Amino acid sequence: MAETGFCNVDGGRLYYEVEGSGPALALIHAGVANLRQWDEQVPEFSRHRRVIRYDSRTYGKTTTDNVEVSNRGDLAAILDHLGVERAAILGLSRGGQIAIDFTLAYPDRASALIAVAAGISGFDFPNTPEEQALWDEYERRYEAGDWEWVVDTETAMWVDGPGQPSDRVPAEIRQRVHEWIAEGYKAHASEEPSSKPLDPPAATRLGEIAVPTLVVVGDLDTRDTVSACHKLADEIPGARLEVFEGVAHMVNLEQPQAFTRLVLEFLDGAGLA
């Protein structure tokens, strides 16, 4: 049975769930999800370690005021609340960027880093004219509150993969993510906290990361995500890169069993059993 609760932080209440015992493993969801993203992984993960997952601000059951926010600081606050000194940190997409920033900001608190389809703070990747046109249209539709178009476009980008057909992945996966995105906008539309960036940003500091690191990416993901993950693998000392073929952004949803096995094998091999 999961332990659930809220962690009070400056300007917000962070919802969390904890299962299992042993070395701590913190899970950070993508920007198109919430902590339910990890439902397929938690039962097996929690057989081996204490699994901590939470809804970050503007997602799920977490609530926030419109204040300046340190997402890495929020994770530290949850670990403090739960009495956890060190944890392996696993994040996907936006959650991967938070995981990287946390590892740099709190080097004594991360025992390992698993960055999946991750962004990197301060990493610039040039768009093609077609990509830029899409993001310009996205910004226009977002500002206009055209949520149906926004949700459909985010689903196509992050579930199907750029240029991929809408039936490439099982309909159940596509529908789950579509609902997460739509529910997020509906429940948190008035919440607009600003983000306090890591300074200097991670893109210039990857060589500082000194914990065992696994980088995971699907080969059907966006060009900038694939490039970012290769940068992580190239510049973090000793980092291991695993590429999932025929998979887009939501790696753990498309290949749940293979993903779960990979993470546990990595943690065991890193001496974090």
Beta bridge partners of 240: 214
The reply to whether 116 and 235 lie within a common domain is: yes
Secondary structure of residue 6 in the 3-state scheme: strand
Secondary structure of residue 260 in the 3-state scheme: helix
Pairing of strands 213-218, 194-195: unpaired
Count the domains in the chain: 2
Phi–psi pair at 10, nearest 5 degrees: -55, 115
Domain containing 109 equals 3-124+192-269
pTM above 0.95, yes or no: yes
Domain end (from 170, 188, 206): 188
pLDDT at 159: 98
Nearest Cα neighbor of 180 from 250, 230, 233, 235 is 250
- Residue 170: asked if its preceding bond is cis (omega within 30°), the reply is no
Give the CA distances from residue 39 to residues 16, 19, 110, 181, 193, in Å, rounded to whole numbers and listed in that order: 13, 12, 23, 17, 27
How far apart CA 209 and CA 269 sit, in angstroms, is 18
**pLDDT by residue for the chain (273 residues), tens digit each?**
899 999 999 999 999 999 999 999 999 999 999 999 999 999 999 999 999 999 999 999 999 999 999 999 999 999 999 999 999 999 999 999 999 999 999 999 999 999 999 999 999 999 999 999 999 999 999 999 999 999 999 999 999 999 999 999 999 999 999 999 999 999 998 999 999 999 999 999 999 999 999 999 999 999 999 999 999 999 999 999 999 999 999 999 999 999 999 999 999 998 775
pLDDT at 207: 98
For the domain that residue 249 is a member of, what is the CATH number?
3.40.50.1820
Domain end (from 161, 188, 215): 188
Q: List, in order, residues 6 or more apart from 17 with CB less than 8 Å away.
A: 2, 3, 4, 35, 52, 53, 54
The reply to whether 178 and 225 lie within a common domain is: no
Beta bridge partners of 63: 13
94: left (phi over 0), alpha (psi -120 to 50) or beta: alpha
Beta bridge partners of 16: 5, 54
The reply to whether 14 and 146 lie within a common domain is: no
The reply to whether 184 and 199 lie within a common domain is: no
How far apart CA 134 and CA 61 sit, in angstroms, is 31
